[in-house]
């Protein structure tokens, strides 16, 4: 059987990564702040938008 030390090496960093994912993923909900995004920032390609509409 794999030792407790070995399982800890595999599982603890993976769990830490999942926690980081959730904290960053929901940071806007936690703090109530989100990136400010407008049409200028989205900067879509006009030709592509026309193609999508057709």
Partner 1 sequence: MNGVLVGFIVYLVILAYIGLWARRFTKTEDQYFVGGRKVRVVAAALSDKASDFSGWLMLGYPGQAFSTGLGAFWAAIGCLFGTLADYIFIGPRLRIYAGKFRAITVPDYLEARLRDDTKLIRILGAIIILVFMTAYVSAQFKAGGKALSQAFGLDVTTAVLITAIIVTAYVLTGGFFAVVWTDVIQALFMVTTLIIVPIVAASAIGGLDKAVEIMANVDPKHLSPFGGATGLTALIFAIGYASWIVGYFGQPHIVTRYMSVEDPRKLRRPGIFISGIWTILVLWGAFFAGFIGFALAKAGIVHMEDAERIIPAMAMTLMPSWLAGFVIAGILAAIMSTADSQLLVASSGYRGI
Which residue ranges make up the site for partner 1 (CB under 8 A)?
1-3, 5-6, 8-10, 13-14, 17-18, 20-21, 24-28, 34-35, 37, 40-45, 47-49, 51-52
Q: What's the closest the beta carbon of residue 49 comes to partner 1, in angstroms?
A: 8
Per-residue exposure over 3-17, b if at least 16 CB sit within 10 Å of its own CB, e if not? eeeeeeeeeeeeeee
Q: What's the closest the beta carbon of residue 54 comes to partner 1, in angstroms?
A: 10
Q: Would you say 32 or 47 has its CB closer to partner 1?
A: 47
Q: Could you tell me if residue 26 is left (phi over 0), alpha (psi between -120 and 50 degrees) or otherwise beta? A: alpha
């Amino acid at each position: 059987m794999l030792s407790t030390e070995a399982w800890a090496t595999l599982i603890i960093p993976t769990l830490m990564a999942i926690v980081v994912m959730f904290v960053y993923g929901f940071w806007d909900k936690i703090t109530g702040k989100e990136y400010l995004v407008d049409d200028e920032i989205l900067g879509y390609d006009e030709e592509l938008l026309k193609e999508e509409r057709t």
